[in-house]
Amino acid sequence: MKKTKKLLVALSLSLALGLIVGCGSGGDDKKSADSGNKSTTDLQKIKDAGVIKVGVKEDVPNFGYMNPDTNKNEGMEPDIARLIAKELTGSEDNVEFVGVTAKTRGPLLDNGELDMVIATFTITDERKETYNFTTPYYKDEVGFLVRKADKFTDTASLDGKTIGVVQSATTKEAIEKQAKELGVSFKYQELGSYPELKTALTSKRIDAFSVDKSILTGYVDDNTEILKDGFSPQEYGIATKKANTELNDQLNQSIEKWEKDGTLEKFTKRGI
């Protein structure tokens, strides 16, 4: 009888141990599956879909511009997007462009409508808390577009004038910092797009249109000019969701390669 009881106890212990090991093994399988799911929501998701969704500007000549004659996205940034599409999917045609502004690009990336943003997106410490940014693919500085007839010579000569800036950009903050250093002050008018700012300048509702100098070059005409002095260095990077580190790493590798082989320099010289 004692032998029988000992045998039953031993069997019970063996069964309990088996259940514990089995549960532990199941946890590992679940962990592995979770890792697999994470992978498919990152770089692999784009490769599986066979298309990348990219936010680009449509009102910035040379960088991101929707040509009304061809209905095609043109400029340095759409060209970069096409190169990325070729590397990730095998064809530069596998890219879906979505027009964005400084105000909409972040929310569209946040809600998953975009895989990445390539839209004169200036890298800042504050923005890096929310998004991943690649190393810069372009460097610039803030400047002013003014009417020639007004005879403005530099930033200080605009003291007390009304400066037009686009909504949700870093421009106003940069101007305020420069104004403090120079001991001058400005009034501001914030509008939704660069074409609106150019119209406001032409109609004399503002005295200067301010943004990165490379963007201003697309709006110069016979009656306007860009002031020579610039300030607040700006670096443009490709933005992705904070969790998409694998995609960000891949993009950084591509930018490093294009910088070494002259691709980025070619894009810059072609239109800017």
Whether residue 171 lies inside any domain: the answer is: yes
- Judged against a pLDDT cut of 80, whether residue 36 lies above it is answered with no
Please indicate, yes or no, whether residues 121 and 170 belong to a single structural domain of this protein. no
Please indicate, yes or no, whether residues 243 and 263 belong to a single structural domain of this protein. yes
Average of pLDDT values for 243-254?
A: 96
Whether residue 26 lies inside any domain: the answer is: no
CATH number (domain holding residue 196): 3.40.190.10
Q: What pLDDT band is residue 8 in, cutting at 50, 70 and 90?
A: very low
Instruction: Report d(CA 96, CA 221) in Å as an integer.
Output: 32
The range of the structural domain enclosing residue 211 comes to 141-234
Please indicate, yes or no, whether residues 179 and 210 belong to a single structural domain of this protein. yes
- Judged against a pLDDT cut of 50, whether residue 3 lies above it is answered with no
- Among 5-19, 162-176, 197-211, the minimum mean pLDDT is found in 5-19
Helix residue ranges, H only, the chain: 2-40, 43-49, 76-89, 105-110, 125-128, 171-182, 194-202, 213-216, 245-261, 263-271
